[in-house]
Structure 1
Amino acid sequence: MTLLEKDGVRVTVDADGALATVTLTNPAKRNAQTPALWRALAEAGRRLDGAVRVVVLRAEGVSFSAGLDRRAFTPEGIDGEVSFPALARRPDGEIDAVIAEYQEAFTWWRRSDLISVAAVQGHAIGAGFQLALACDLRICADDVAFAMPETTLGLVPDLGGTKPLVELLGYPRALEVCATGRTLHAEEAERTGLANLVVPAAELAAAIEDLTTALLAAPRAAVTETKALLAAASAHTPEVQREAERAAQTRRLRDLTGLGE
């Protein structure tokens, strides 16, 4: 197990061959998010070696993540970090660069060579919701509560969550969820596809284990090719998608027969 500490924030990375688990470890604050946490999560992604095929993101305590640490909104801010009021006074280019650095914690989860799974219990609010959305798949406890309240605070979701939210819920529902900041509970999350599976909280760990075992059963190259096909499908015309399928299958056939490069 690797313990990453960034300015007092702890994230653990436990890699066991093809499976890695990244854990948020601040249950006393419901895993509230800070720039230090984002730096630690970005570092976690950089630490994973090429053997890892599946990454599980989990959190200690009753909540996955209750969102951004509200101290960021105060003039004093979080110790050692620029406060949002101070950030707003910087030039546009500097603000853009700061937010881009924050986003790095949310971008690597959908790498082409990995499948990422969020194990979500309790609150997944704002930045917590976006962190769950950053993963390919979400297995949720039946007490899950998703919400995106940024708009109600005068802000926008800016940590990469808007695209996957629209892909999962569709534009009208995603707009309604963001504009109202309302909560999506377990039944709606599963019905709309936001959650791949909802289980009793006591069964969350077992459900994650079952899924990761299944994900690791197929040959890696086949899973990687399939993920790439599915990820690109919405941007392709049917003709382009069929061409991509043919090219991928050609590579697989040659690999299986020992004729690949």
Structure 2
Amino acid sequence: MTAPAVPSSFLVREVKAFGRSVHRVGVSASFGLEEAGIEAAFERGVQYVFWNPTARKLTAVLRRLGPSRREALVVATGPSFGFTAGSVRRRVERALRVLRSDYLDVLQLYWLGRMSAYRPAVLEAMLRLKEEGKVRVLGTSIHDRVRAGELARSGPLDLLMIRYNAAHPGAEQDIFPHLAPRQPAVVAYTATSWRRLLRKPRDWSGAVPSAGDCYRFCLSNPHVDIVLMGARNEGELDENLRALERGPLSEPEMQEMRAFGRAVHG
């Protein structure tokens, strides 16, 4: 029997911040994915890339892309420590040299409040880089959900990278209700809660979800635009993408996943 087609709105959607449709799965090469696996992800439609200069295999793949293939991607990065305007500009200019590119799609302040600061001078430097065409979208990654909700309501940041999974669903109360009317892009990471959601907790008698189920949980929420996948090899990449072809979680699956997340969270 032929499997039902996955709704295009589940795996591909129009993202206001990017001004175009994108695949809702993003890749990070921080977990050992080889160049062949990265290429396979791109061939299967993955567009969002979370990049840093130490990701040599990902860098090599990005350097080989022709202009049309590069334009199809959304490459996101940021300064390791964004406390000053100078550090932000230096990181962007270094990234452009390493990637041999004229622009970055997303410039984000890493771990706002811990490894970067939302200061007027820093913000001015980001806006200037955008005016110069060196970056296209400004964003941040942040653990403070209440502050993230505040940033969602007011500009100029148009992308929030947040922790969201079945064990940590607090964004549903603290962030998602504040996304309208600006509609900043939401990128979810730690979908497996650093693999804790792949292990059976004490006193749990039900089934243990797969990594694919964890990614389906994130994308089943209409407020999540992109979920970052940390596949370690091409086999995991294929398994996860196949799981996503099943579409959003059904209501019984969602209830089971939430119950499992509560058990994992303790």
TM-score above 0.5: no
Give the structure-1-normalised TM-score.
Answer: 0.27
Indicate the structure with greater helix content: 1
Give the structure-2-normalised TM-score.
Answer: 0.26
Relative contact order (alpha carbons < 8 A, sep ≥ 6): 1 or 2 greater?
2
Larger-gyration structure (1/2): 1
